Amino acid sequence: MSNELAKKDEIDQAIFKLFDELDDEVITKELKGAISEHWVYQYIEQGKEVIGLSKVGIDQASILLTKQGNIIREDKIEYKQDPTNAEYFLFIAEVSQYALRTDGQEFLLKRKIGTKRQWTKMKRKDGKIVEDEFWFEKGSMKALRNATARLIDEDLKQKIIAIAKEQKRVYNIKEMQSQQQQQQKNEPVLKQSPEQAKVMRKFWAEFNSLVDYNKNKEEINNVIHEVLYANFGKNSLREANIDYGKLLMLLVEDERIIPYLKNKVNQAVLEDDIPF
């Protein structure tokens, strides 16, 4: 029996690690101005359901608490480098819940802390380990998420889950994984036409004329990969149907590329000179 419990605990930990990784994507989207529609993460294995609130779901629970006359205050965040591994930082956040009385006075109901051990790197979809430019924001926001989650009682959690299911705001991990695998399986292998190859060569010629690429290949390739995936859903420049002119504009506008621009080229010049 103890072995079965240990195995179940190991599986649950792996599932909640998946939930946490999905919140990494949510936070990155928020920082870039996008909004996630999923309030709940769901994982079903052999008829058994593991379900949890996403960061967005916890934010919605906070909104409901506010509507009920409660105020959630984010009191403080502290962080320090993990003494056991310099690639990680330890975050501690403190949040408080106050009741707002009819006379306008606030009454402290409870105060909770949340912690998060955050990696300063990230693993790309191609398996490569790169620096995570948003590690601080992710660590801070997830520590606050964990603290706020402790203010949410089971009744409110179940209410959020019910609303999420009703409004189709549930992210079913197994289902999504199956869809992605099927999509990859059915995706045709596309070869570049001579015209596409010509346009790509044109892109590289123009890009190299603007950016010190050869001196900073690794850093610039990381940015290219992230911009490609974020805007085109592609993992490689060689994939078909990419608007190279748009990609070039996105890259030279990206603040991470600015330090590598030759002669501090400005946007007005770029708009006039890019031959696409």
What is the per-residue pLDDT across 8-23, written as a single tens digit (0 to 9) for each?
Answer: 556 567 777 878 888 8
What is the per-residue pLDDT across 86-135, written as a single tens digit (0 to 9) for each?
Answer: 999 999 999 999 998 778 788 999 999 999 999 999 888 777 888 998 99
pLDDT of residue 239: 61
First to last CA, the chain: 66
What the block records as the tokens of 23 is 């919140």
> What residues in the chain have per-residue pLDDT under 50?
1, 265-276
Q: Would you say 142 and 20 are in contact if contact means Cβ atoms under 8 Å apart?
A: yes
pLDDT of residue 273: 47
Q: Shortest CA distance to 115 belongs to which of 153, 151, 143, 77?
A: 143
Q: Which domains does the chain have, with CATH numbers?
A: 2-180 (3.30.390), 194-273 (no CATH)
Q: Would you say 140 and 79 are in contact if contact means Cβ atoms under 8 Å apart?
A: yes
Rounded to two decimals, the pTM is 0.62
pLDDT of residue 238: 63
